[in-house]
């Protein structure tokens, strides 16, 4: 597992981005945020929900919906958002610090 990699969950079509530092790879859970297609979300707070593109489709990183899930729920690797690191980290910081 790698931070900022996007996986499809095994039991659904949902994409999640791994937000957890590799320092904690020994844990059997990962902190993730779901990716929601932009067409499925009415209101987006840009500072909290960065937009990304996966396979030509636009998504919002739903930082406000982050959760810890078991690594056994991860399916296939879909994409790598490492190049979007700064805006994803900024959104996570915004969620916890409010600025």
DSSP code string of the chain: --TTEEEEETTSS-EEEE-S-GGGTTSSEEEEEEEEEGGG-S---TTTS-EEEETTEEEEE-GGG-EEEEGGGEEEEEEE-GGGHHHHHHHHHHHHH--
Which residue range forms the structural domain that includes residue 39?
5-97
The count of structural domains within the chain is: 1
pLDDT of residue 96: 93
Q: Are 4 and 85 in contact (CB under 8 A)?
A: yes
pLDDT of residue 16: 98
- Print pLDDT tens along the chain (99 aa): 899 999 999 999 999 999 999 899 899 999 999 999 999 998 889 999 999 999 999 999 999 999 999 999 999 999 999 999 999 999 999 999 987
pLDDT of residue 42: 87
CATH number of the domain where residue 87 is located:
2.30.30.110
Predicted TM-score (pTM) of the model is: 0.93
């Amino acid at each position: 597992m790698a931070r900022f990699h996007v996986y499809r969950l095994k039991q659904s079509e949902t994409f999640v981005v791994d937000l957890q530092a590799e320092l904690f790879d020994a844990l059997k859970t990962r902190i993730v945020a779901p990716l929601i297609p932009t067409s499925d979300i009415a209101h987006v707070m840009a500072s909290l929900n960065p937009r990304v593109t996966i396979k030509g489709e636009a998504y919002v990183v739903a930082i406000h919906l982050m959760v810890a899930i078991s690594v056994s729920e991860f399916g296939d690797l879909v994409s790598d958002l490492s190049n979007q690191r700064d805006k994803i980290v900024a959104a996570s910081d915004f969620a916890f610090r409010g600025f």
